[in-house]
Amino acid sequence: MKRSLIAVAAAAACAPVLAQQPTAAEQTLPPVVVTSPMPGVAQKAFDTPVSVDVIGGEQLRDGQLGVNLSESLVRAPGLTALNRQNYAQDIQISSRGYGARSTFGVRGLRLYTDGIPATAPDGQGQVSHFDLNSAERIEVLRGPFSALYGNASGGVISLFTADGGPKTVAEFSTAFGSYGTQRHAVRLSGQEGKVQYNISVTHFDTDGYRGHSAATRDGLNAKLKYNASDDTKVTVVLNSVRLPDAQDPLGLTRAEFNADPRQASPAALQFNTRKSVDQTQGGVVLDHRLDAVNSFKVTGWTGKRETVQFQAIPVTPTQTPITHPGGVIGLERRYEGLDAQWTARTKLLGHPLSVTAGATTERMDEHRQGWQNFIGTGPSQVLGVEGALRRDEDNRLRTLDEYLQAVWSLDRFSLTAGLRHSDVRFDSQDHFIVGANGNDSGSTQYRATTPVLGVVFHATDTLNLYASAGRGFETPTFNELSYRLSGPGLNFGLRPATSRQWELGAKAELAQHWRGTLAFFEARTSDELVVLSNTGGRSTFQNAGTTLRRGVEAALNGSWGQGWSAQVAATVLDATYRNAFLTCGAPPCGTPTVTVDAGNRIPGIPKTMLFAELAWQHRPSGLGLAAEMRHTGRIMVDDRNTDAAAAATVFALRASLQQAVGRWTLREFVRVDNVADRRYAGSVIVNEGNGRFFETAPGRNWLGGVTAAYTF
């Protein structure tokens, strides 16, 4: 481990030819972030005691499909974003190992779009509605200060839509690629008086790399900003996503993966596994400065998400008992929240002091139903359809959080301290009480106080050294509470996981147009939430003992010469169980009997991640060329470490061209991914009970696109 850490640190320190920034502005200006130690408080990333990276809009779209966060998040060290090639389950994102166990969606991280939470109050999040076509930037925060964002904050990912104006721009873009992939987008942005607007509509289609993995996705994102005065601004955000019948190929066993990595699991074809999602949400943000010292911000949001998922659960003997909740899941969620914060910028003993205090309250009402995934019997039986009702319950979640942060800037030091108190309440009312299936209603409540502390030493004008430490906590989500190992009802016996984290780091302006960061970190978690069983797309969970995550992150980026630029982001992460515990073996499993040894690696987490890019841009002609390298280390598939997805290093090439013709700006690009046609598993399904662990990454594939923008 020590050798690996030293190697990565040395590579980052000695690689002034491996960093990149795409625009002249980004080459000269250090990033100012909003996803700082405290939600909604803007600070220079260079002066914060946290690991935070900013990925600009050009990087999100330059030579990219512009559909998945996995395309660009690889640029942030410490973050793992794996494309599962399965739009029914979304991409797999983890931050320093937090969230890696998620069987679908994003878990263990807080997600935001223009300040509106994309993470439910229980900690389950989605990124399918993130609109990269209109994004100005994405900010990624890691480490102890993530805890100030509340429950399940192993990290924070925030997308910010660009403000419209001052000119009116109409833009159309299209892209086509391998496996029937196509993406079309229309965007209109501008300014009328005091109102700025940016509206984007996107349509995406793919036949999928694997069998039974086709998907269609439609998205809308709109941002309107009313600048009432220099002191008052109101922002309205609306976004929606529709994903009808996205096919789910499920994972492959080792034998299936070796035989034909592009196939779907036979069970997926048998039950026509698929998922539909329809989500719409909106929010309003009011920023008002009272005077030179005091200001406040109020954010309100509401939304609705409907999901129907068809799973591959055998008819007999699994679904025979009346206590089994069936093989089709129907969810209707309505949620809303309000956040109010006050900020005072004053002085203490003659030195600048900023204090922010606030409170957040959220509620979510969920109607959860389950049906059998078949109708009929014998020769007339039909699979993969909605059958008899087997589950019907109303679930409710309420949260109330209070938080406080202060930043005191001295001559050579700045101190940052924060505190958050969280109260999370779950309640379930069972309406399916039939025969042996009794009343499974119940409730539980979790509370936690999470303090954080950080210090920055301003060694020179171009070098900052920092240290931070704090506590965090993570409650089970409704999806993790939803099933018990044996019997129906919610698993209210699950306890929240608690963590203690520290981080030491350095941020340096190494030379003109060159910046580097280095961070060492450690996190110890008690009562870690782990997958106990996972079959047919349904997971049960338990609390394990103590886990340890420790590692190093390094990043370097810059430019030189005539249009040359480069970037490198490297991570080494050692994530292990510190205590032995029992888990399930092959299904059926009524009681965990298989031992997980202390020292085993936590599954779903690669030990090493590396991204490097070398780019050249000839500004007079508008020609741009780039080569990318992505390395993902070996990933264990289960807690027992019985198998692993092999480490993989893949390369990509891209070329772009830009022309200005009157009021038109035209951009074309072409890219080739996995140039060497490497066969590998791009992600794994943790603890899949039937051994269907592996989700295949595509072989060599191409993508090309055109964008036409007209400025009025």
b/e string for 140-173 if b means 16 or more Cβ within 10 A?
bbbbbbbbbbbbbbbbbbbbbbbbbbeeebebeb
| pLDDT at res. 199 | 98
* Mean pLDDT score, 616-633: 95
Say how far residue 651 (Cα) sits from the centre of its chain. Answer: 23
pTM listed for this prediction: 0.92
Top-confidence residue, 436 or 351:
351
| pLDDT at res. 383 | 95
Q: If you write DSSP's letter for every residue of 345-391 in order, what string do you get?
A: EEEETTEEEEEEEEEEEEEEEEEEEEE-SEES-GGG-EESS--SEEE
Indicate the domain borders of the chain.
2-276+284-334+343-396+419-711
Which of 26-35, 49-58, 503-512, 660-669 shows the lowest per-residue confidence on average (mean pLDDT)? 26-35
Per-residue pLDDT at 131 exceeds 80:
yes
Per-residue pLDDT at 7 exceeds 60:
no
Contact 240, 118 (CB under 8 A): no
Per-residue pLDDT at 26 exceeds 70:
no
State pLDDT tens for residues 59-118: 999 999 999 999 999 999 999 999 999 999 888 999 999 988 777 778 889 999 999 999
| pLDDT at res. 561 | 86
Residue 226 DSSP symbol: E
Contact 629, 653 (CB under 8 A): no
Per-residue pLDDT at 650 exceeds 70:
yes
| pLDDT at res. 168 | 97
State pLDDT tens for residues 337-367: 999 999 999 999 999 999 999 999 999 999 9
Q: Which fold has domain 2-276+284-334+343-396+419-711?
A: Maltoporin; Chain A (2.40.170)
| pLDDT at res. 450 | 95
Of 168, 263, 156, 161, which Cα lies nearest the Cα of 219?
A: 161
Cα gap 333→3, rounded to integer Å: 48
Per-residue pLDDT at 405 exceeds 60:
yes
Contact 35, 139 (CB under 8 A): yes
3-state secondary structure of 290: coil
pLDDT band at 488 (very low <50, low <70, confident <90, very high): low
Per-residue pLDDT at 217 exceeds 50:
yes
* Mean pLDDT score, 601-618: 96
